[in-house]
């Protein structure tokens, strides 16, 4: 074992998948091991997320990160040099202490996230192990069920449709690799159908087709036809997952579907979504109601939590305390895990631990603004989370994650166990 004390930390500005500035951190250990992490960025962010520190002003639309980079090269470096990178909890505790705010607004969650991930990679490198194995030990062999976007909408596609993500999962696939094979065929079939109907206008932020449908439901119908056209069975082989991202169009119990010029209250949203669950092979719905609508979440979960997975993203913001509170209220049954919603890997892992204690499932997730960083794939496998959502089946920053998972599955060989449909939180009371 080489010396795992942190010798040096370096931050620099690089560019994300939307062409916006983002922050990359390198960590060097005394024994020579190095690690790197890159911060992702959301567009439909929850108000309870840790702060993504931007410069403001006019350059690059206010998205520059020179202050966050300076924090890495100043306060964060001073705080971490000499700490043992192999003790992630202690490193993350020091990061939290150095920031000193509840929402990471002093040093920036982007700065902390990149550094926290870089430290984990450096420690894994020093141990001579891939990160998933370093995190999970020799038993870490569960390949997650991928949730893959076919159409993008909401804030990721000019609000062309209200619903943000129309995704597929392949519960009956035999392996992660086969789930990708099936999804590739569905993605292609959807593109062909849309080209024929004149309903596609390129790709959205996460690589899904940018749709020009007349209604939200037309997207669901087209998705079912794409699964069939790919030669697969809707429901049994390929099922639908939705991210409504309702905080983008709802507040105070009032929801406005722009595409259909419809105004709905919480109950109206629940009725509409319950109708979709009856009519289409939907197995998972994320943020069906807005982040401020806990009562709506509880009502929705009481009605549908025994049939489908109900995921809190903006609603739970990867926060252990919010997961516990939601479980106590019977609101949602699954948490989305995005490390930059909190700022450190340890806090994200705490949310996963809280989920397990509460009987919730979890999904490790990318952001709409991404990079070539593949850390989240290792978190999903290393922590045994069981589900992974990184956007669509196009664009390099998305494919980098899917391809990394393929490599891990291949290295695991006969030990790999595909989580499949069993990973979905279904069939139990919400
Ligand atoms: P975001 O979208 O990264 O823009 O927040 C992803 C999601 O809502 O799941
Ligand atoms: Zn979401």
Confidence of residue 430 (pLDDT cuts 50, 70, 90): very low
- Catalytic hit among 104, 338, 389, 401: 338
Alpha-helical segments (H) within 158-293: 176-197, 216-229, 266-279
* 337: β partners: 364
pLDDT digits (tens, 9 = 90+) for 135-179: 999 999 999 999 999 999 999 888 889 999 999 999 999 999 999
The average pLDDT across 224-244 equals 98
Ligand 1 atom closest to the Cα of residue 43 is 4
Give me the pLDDT at residue 78, please.
Answer: 98
| CA 56–ligand 2 middle distance (angstroms) | 25
Structural domains of the chain sorted by starting position, each given as residue range(s) with its CATH number in brackets: 6-128 (3.30.390.10), 142-423 (3.20.20.120)
Measuring CA to CA, how many Å separate 234 from each of 2, 39, 62, 168, 199?
52, 36, 44, 10, 21
Ligand 1 contacts CB of residue 401 (under 6 A):
no
With a 6 Å cutoff on the Cβ, whether 51 touches ligand 1 is: no
Q: Which of 185, 206, 291, 409 is catalytic?
A: 206
Overall average pLDDT of the 50-62 stretch: 98
Report whether pLDDT(263) > 70.
yes
Evaluated on CA atoms 151, 165, 353, 303, the torsion sign reads negative
pLDDT at 299 over 70: yes
Q: What is the pLDDT of residue 426?
A: 80
Name the helix (H) or strand (E) containing 290: none
pLDDT tens column, 264-291: 999 999 999 999 999 999 999 999 999 9
Please work out whether the CB of residue 368 comes within 6 Å of at least one atom of ligand 1. yes
- Asked if pLDDT for residue 302 goes beyond 60, the answer is yes
* Mutational pocket test of ligand 1: of 16, 39, 43, 206, the residue with most ligand atoms within 8 Å of the beta carbon: 43
pLDDT in tens, 341-357: 999 999 999 999 999 99
Q: What is the mean pLDDT of residues 239-255?
A: 98
Please spell the DSSP secondary structure of 304-367, one letter per residue.
HTTTSEEEESTTTTT-HHHHHHHHHHT--SEEEE-GGGTSSHHHHHHHHHHHHHHT-EEEEE--
Helical segments of 35-108, H only = 66-71, 77-80, 88-99
**Which residues have C-beta under 5 Å from ligand 2, the single-atom ion?**
243, 286, 313
Helix, strand, coil percent values for the chain (each to nearest 5): 45, 20, 35
Look over the chain and give the mean of its residue pLDDT values, rounded to a whole number. Answer: 97
For ligand 1, mutation pick of 338, 392, 398, 401 (most atoms within 8 Å of CB): 338
Distance (Å) from CA 367 to ligand 1 centroid: 5
Lowest mean pLDDT among 98-102, 194-198, 266-270, 417-421: 194-198
| Mutate-to-test residue for ligand 1 from 41, 163, 164, 208, highest number of ligand atoms within 8 A of CB | 164
Measured CA to CA, the distance from residue 265 to residue 252 in angstroms comes to 9
Q: Is the CB of 318 under 6 A from ligand 1?
A: no
| Whole-structure pTM value | 0.98
Q: What was the pLDDT predicted at 305?
A: 97
pLDDT at residue number 200: 77
- Going by pLDDT thresholds of 50, 70 and 90, the confidence category of residue 427 is low
User: 287's torsion region: left (phi>0), alpha (psi -120 to 50) or beta?
Assistant: left
Q: Write the pLDDT tens digit of every residue in 63-97.
A: 999 999 999 999 999 999 999 999 999 999 999 99
* pLDDT > 50? residue 39: yes
Residue 41 in contact with residue 369, Cβ under 8 Å?
yes
| Exposed e or buried b per residue across 93-111, where buried means at least 16 C-beta atoms within 10 angstroms of its C-beta | ebbbebbeeeebeebbbbb
pLDDT tens digits, 112-139:
999 999 999 999 999 999 999 999 999 9
Does the beta carbon of 367 sit less than 6 angstroms from any atom of ligand 1?
yes
pLDDT score of 91:
99
- Closest by Cα among 332, 420, 395, 388 to 167: 388
Whether 34 contacts 26, CB under 8 Å: yes
**Average pLDDT for 43-51:** 96
pLDDT above 60 for 428: no
For residue 234, what is the DSSP state? B
Query: Residue 429's pLDDT is what?
Result: 40
């Amino acid at each position: 074992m080489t010396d795992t004390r942190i010798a040096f930390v370096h931050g620099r500005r690089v560019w994300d998948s939307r062409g916006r500035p983002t922050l990359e951190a390198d960590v060097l250990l005394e024994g020579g091991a190095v690690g790197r992490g890159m911060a992702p960025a959301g567009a439909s962010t929850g108000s309870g997320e840790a702060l993504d520190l931007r410069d403001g002003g006019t350059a690059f639309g206010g998205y520059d990160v020179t202050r966050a980079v300076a924090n890495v090269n100043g306060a964060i470096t001073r705080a971490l040099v000499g700490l043992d990178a192999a003790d992630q909890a202690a490193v993350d505790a020091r990061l939290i202490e150095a920031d000193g705010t509840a929402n990471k607004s002093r040093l920036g969650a982007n700065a902390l996230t990149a550094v926290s991930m870089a430290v984990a990679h450096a420690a894994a490198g020093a141990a001579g192990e891939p990160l998933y194995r370093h995190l999970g030990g020799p038993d870490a062999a569960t390949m997650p069920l991928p949730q893959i976007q076919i159409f993008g909408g909401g804030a990721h596609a000019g609000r062309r449709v209200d619903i943000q993500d129309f995704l597929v999962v392949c519960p009956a696939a035999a392996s992660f690799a086969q789930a990708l094979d099936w999804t590739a065929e569905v993605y292609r079939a959807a593109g062909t159908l849309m080209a024929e109907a004149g309903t596609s206008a390129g790709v959205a932020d996460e690589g899904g087709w940018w749709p020009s449908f007349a209604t939200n439901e037309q997207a669901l119908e087209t998705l079912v036809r794409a699964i069939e056209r790919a030669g697969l069975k809707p429901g049994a082989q390929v099922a639908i997952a939705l991210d409504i991202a309702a905080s983008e169009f709802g507040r105070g119990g009032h929801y406005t579907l722009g595409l259909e010029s419809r105004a709905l209250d919480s109950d109206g949203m629940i009725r509409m979504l319950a109708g979709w669950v009856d009519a289409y092979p939907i197995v998972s719905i994320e943020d069906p109601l807005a982040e401020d609508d806990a009562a709506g979440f509880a009502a929705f979960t009481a009605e549908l939590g025994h049939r489908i997975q109900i995921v809190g993203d903006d609603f739970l913001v990867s926060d252990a305390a919010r997961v516990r509170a939601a479980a106590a209220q019977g609101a949602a049954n699954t948490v989305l895990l995005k490390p930059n919603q909190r700022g450190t890997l340890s806090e994200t892992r705490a949310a996963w631990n809280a989920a397990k204690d509460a009987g919730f499932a979890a999904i490790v997730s990318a952001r709409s603004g991404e990079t070539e960083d593949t850390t989240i794939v290792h978190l999903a496998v290393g922590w045994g989370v069981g589900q992974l959502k990184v956007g669509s089946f196009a664009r390099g920053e998305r494919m980098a994650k899917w391809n990394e998972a393929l490599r891990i599955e291949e290295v695991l060989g006969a030990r790999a166990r595909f989580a499949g449909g069993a990973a979905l939180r279904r069939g139990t009371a919400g």
